[in-house]
Amino acid sequence: MSHDTRPAALRALGSQVAWSIVRRAEALRTGKAGHGGREPLLARGPVFRVPHGDAVAGPVPGRGGGTAVGAGEPSDVATPVALTVDDGPDPTWTPALLDVLAAHAVEATFFVVGERAREHPGLLRRLLAAGHHLGNHSYSHFQPFAALPAAAVARELHETQRVVTGETGVRPALFRAPAGGWSRRVLAAARDHGLTPVDWTVDPKDWREPPADRIAERVARARPGDIVLCHDGGGDRSRTVKALDLALTRLRERGTLFTAL
């Protein structure tokens, strides 16, 4: 990294640390009963939880007799969990993950990297055909993302929008900064492109490739309204695929509903 960009990178890393603190605080609030309708800690920041209006009442897989969620239960039981998947599409791990999601009848939101989307446009169409949603995860996945000049941030968002829309006819409505690299500049660029910035509250850190049972344990802690972060690109994601099969089984047995953002 050149001397000229180092100060910006240091500021960006500081911003990521600050957002990490906000993320932890938001996750704690999410885990407490009765907070479903509260505003996020920072009203102009990214979305950290499933919008309260997305609460669902309906049959849950694994419940006998088609018992409806919300029937004789607290209303927040019907608030779904959102599974989000970053860094793909990947020709090995995205199809494997699609098989797991189909087996558990879970629709997710895939935040795709523009460069990888351009290389594997068929996977974009396959994701949409399976009922999943596509989000913008920048074009090159540069880190620290918030260190980029405003014009570069705008290009990263614009190029990914162009690729995904051109290949699928569907324009993403959501954006997630690489590694949660938020700043006022990044948030403003997202909104300038008509994109809602999305963060997360449950992070199993599967990108570090821990054992599958550890990833599964962390994902299975998700509670109504949580946004879960996982990955299908950027490395060996075999542990993530195995872990999600385990975690989704546990969550479905608990009566958890899922939604694509």
Q: Which residues are catalytic?
A: 86, 231
188 vs 38: CA distance, rounded Å? 23
Report residue 86 as tokens: 């970053």
3-state class (DSSP) for residue 161: helix
256 vs 195: CA distance, rounded Å? 28
Buried b (16+ CB within 10 A) or exposed e, 40-56: beeeebbbbbbeeebbe
Distances (CA, A) of 235 to 21, 88, 92, 203, 208: 26, 10, 10, 17, 9
Estimate the crossing angle of helix 238-253 against helix 212-219, to 10 degrees: 40
Query: Are 137 and 178 contacting, i.e. CB atoms less than 8 angstroms apart?
Result: yes
Residues 5, 8, 9, 11, Cα dihedral to 10°: 160
Q: Residue 141: phi, psi to the nearest 5?
A: 60, 40
Query: Are 205 and 229 contacting, i.e. CB atoms less than 8 angstroms apart?
Result: no
Estimate the crossing angle of helix 121-129 against helix 150-168, to 10 degrees: 70
